[in-house]
Amino acid sequence: MSVIMVTYDLHKPGDKGYDALYDYLRAYDCRHPVESVWFLDTSKPTETIMDDIVKILPYPDHDMLIVIRQKKKGWVTYGTPRLAEWFKDPKRTWDL
């Protein structure tokens, strides 16, 4: 498993068509600390997550998506104490 960051720029934020995206992301052990950024703890590769999300986007020709595998070291947070706690949790799985 790894911590994966998913971030996006949606063509029509607030559109009900994105409910499937939010449901997909919430299905993981995840945190959503700021708008348009999610952290997932998963064994799925980044390419699979990208493919899964692109299939459910209502405007795939206009939406933008970035999926990045995170490292255990090299992160800092400000104003997001719950995210920092989640990152520090020994259950969290990281790429080294």
User: Does residue 94 fall inside a structural domain?
Assistant: no
**Given pLDDT bands bounded at 50, 70 and 90, which one contains residue 96?**
low
> What's 66's domain CATH number?
3.30.70.240
Query: Given this model, what pLDDT does residue 13 score?
Result: 76
Residue 36 lies in a domain: yes
Q: Would the pLDDT of 81 be above 70?
A: yes
39, part of any domain:
yes
Query: Model pTM?
Result: 0.92
| Interval 14-70: pLDDT, tens | 788 899 999 999 999 999 999 999 999 999 999 999 999 999 999 999 999 999 999
Q: Number of folded domains in the chain?
A: 1
Domain presence at residue 50: yes
Distance in angstroms (rounded) separating the CA atoms of residues 49 and 68: 10
- pLDDT of 83-95, one tens digit each? 999 999 999 988 7
Residue 92 falls inside a structural domain: no
Closest by CA to 3, choosing from 36, 37, 35, is: 37
Does residue 44 lie within any of the structural domains?
yes
Q: Does residue 84 lie in a domain region?
A: no
Q: Amino acid letter at 56?
A: I
**Residue 6: CB partners within 8 Å, gap ≥ 6?**
25, 37, 38, 39, 40, 49, 53, 65, 66, 67
Domain range for 53 is 2-71
The confidence band for 76, taking pLDDT boundaries of 50, 70 and 90, is: very high
Q: Is residue 63 part of a domain?
A: yes
- Rounded Cα distance, 45 and 96, in Å: 15
